[in-house]
Chains A and B, each alone.
Chain A
Amino acid sequence: MTTTLSLEAEVAKLIVEALHLETAPEEIDPAAPLFGEGLGLDSIDALEIALAVSKRYGFQLRSDDERNHRIFASLRALAAHIEKNRTG
């Protein structure tokens, strides 16, 4: 559980830095949607996050779907996906 929590914080920081957001990492609600009405990210950001994730955690995000919706559903979902797939 502690691992997940700290990875969440780490990914929040990664997102804020990669995207130059006005939000502080700790202000991102881990359960709120990252796109649209939540944090308000868009497709430019999705590509930036994918790039930052591949560099930091050593795997590529894919959009076969469905699953992609779930991965970007929230900070928590993204962190969980990274936890499962990271090679670095």
Chain B
Amino acid sequence: MLPLTSRGPEEVIFHRGPVPVTVRQFLAEVAALAARLPDEGPVLNFCADRYLALLSFAAALSRGHVTLLSADRTPLRLADIARLHGARYALSDTEVALPLPVLAPGAGAGAAAPNPAIPAAMVAAIAFTSGSTGEPRPHAKPWGALVAGARAAAERFAVTPGTSIVGTVPAQHMYGFETTLLLPLQGAGAGHAGAVFYPSDVAEALAAVPAPRLLVTTPLQLRALLGSGIALPAVSAIISATAPLADSLAAQAEAAFGAPVLEIYGATEAGSVASRRTLDGDAWSPYPGVAFAIGDNRAEVTVPGLPAPVPLSDVLEPAGGDRFRLVGRQGDMVKLAGKRASLAGLGKILSDVEGVREALFLAPEDLDHNPRARLAAFVVAPGMSAASVVAALRGRVEPAFLPRPVVMLDELPRDEVGKVRHKALAGLAWRRS
């Protein structure tokens, strides 16, 4: 059994509006919300407010209900997950029409409440990735694994109890869930509740919380922050994840914001498992308790609390001691906006569109270093335009994977043995840049 929170009753766990929320108040609100939940889970949690997301997760957990985490808040996706995983109700602060009861997690405190004990083996949450055909694939997170991950992160980043954590990543994305909800719950620091996305949001959110401040973000948003030229209040560190950060971007950010830029390596299946300071080099250090097994073309990671080693979709190589380097992506897997897909899977979806004779997706060479990179599609579809191809893909693939450019061809270029000539295609798509 592990307690719901490892924090002391008078510690601040969240900043929501001007008055900080103490652990004592949080536990009282958890008990009050838990008391009015339906009898059975699972529960779909898609709260936008980070504090309400945490409150909802904690209340459901204390009732033994599994939380389904969907970072994608489109009604279609939410309904899919609810149907496939038997959600009985949803907790949300935004209105979405769903075929199940949607409750608002009001933050009304009841009487002082105890810190409930939760079985370490209980599946506390299920996170999702997209399968090759777009259907959500579940990844179960035992409570013990979530707790171990949060404590490892607190130790690795030396987060102090008084650190304010401002995040730009959705609370229901595995990375955002771990760093902005579980870190305050089971590690250290106090979360920031409000929506933070644009550069001006980041500046305002940081200004609204006390120092020291930790900014949890992505390469894409770091790039936007630097591009906007906006001034930020002092931060003690910046953490980036979801995609490798280019050295040049890290160097610019360290110079502009006067703080170390750190990166987390992880995957929805495994959670956060390693970190590095970008400017210290390309070797990653595993989190405490995490072990990597690196084979020729296959790596897996053993994570405290997870029942089996997790295969990774990246190719790794040892870098001395327990450290490793990222060499590339496994097979044809690509990652954009924190979401993964296989190029072959996307090509298959496109080929299945009526009127399309042949189709292929390719990733640009700078995919792993350019936060703005997009995939290209090559399509043989007499009578269709690039725009109509994109229109047909909408709703079938995640918006991040909608191709740009779409190159319409009379036929795919092939070599003597009939293999498609990828180099020639790449030349057609990216000659402009």
Contacts and interface: CB of A to CB of B under 8 A. Distances in A.
Interface string A47-77: 1101100100000111111000000000000
B337 A51 contact: no
A43 B336 CA distance: 11
Contacts of A54: 199, 228
Given A22-B406, A47-B198, A36 B221 contact: no
B230 interface: yes
A50 B224 contact: yes
A47 B399 contact: no
A61 B198 contact: yes
B224 A47 contact: yes
B173 to A, nearest CB: 11
B378 to A, nearest CB: 13
A46 to B, nearest CB: 7
B228 A36 contact: no
Contacts of A43: 197, 337
Interface in B157-205: 194-201, 204
B196 A51 contact: no
B394 interface: yes
Nearest to B385: A22
A42 B404 contact: no
B387 A63 contact: no
Nearest to B373: A44
Contact of A48 (B201, B230, B372, B394): B372
A8 B136 CA distance: 37
A42 B399 contact: yes
Nearest to A45: B399
B390 A22 contact: yes
Contacts of A65: 195
B386 A63 contact: no
Contacts of B383: none
Contact of A47 (B220, B230, B400, B404): B220
Contact of A37 (B196, B395, B400): B395
Contact of B230 (A19, A46, A60): A60
B5 to A, nearest CB: 29
Contacts of B204: 62
B400 A22 contact: no
B197 A63 contact: yes
A24 B398 CA distance: 22
Given A22-B390, A40-B399, A54-B228, A64 B406 contact: no
Interface of B: 74, 194-201, 204, 220-221, 224, 227-228, 230, 336-337, 371-372, 374, 386-387, 389-390, 394-395, 398-400, 402, 404-406
9 contacts: A24-B387, A35-B399, A37-B394, A46-B198, A50-B224, A54-B228, A61-B198, A64-B195, A64-B201
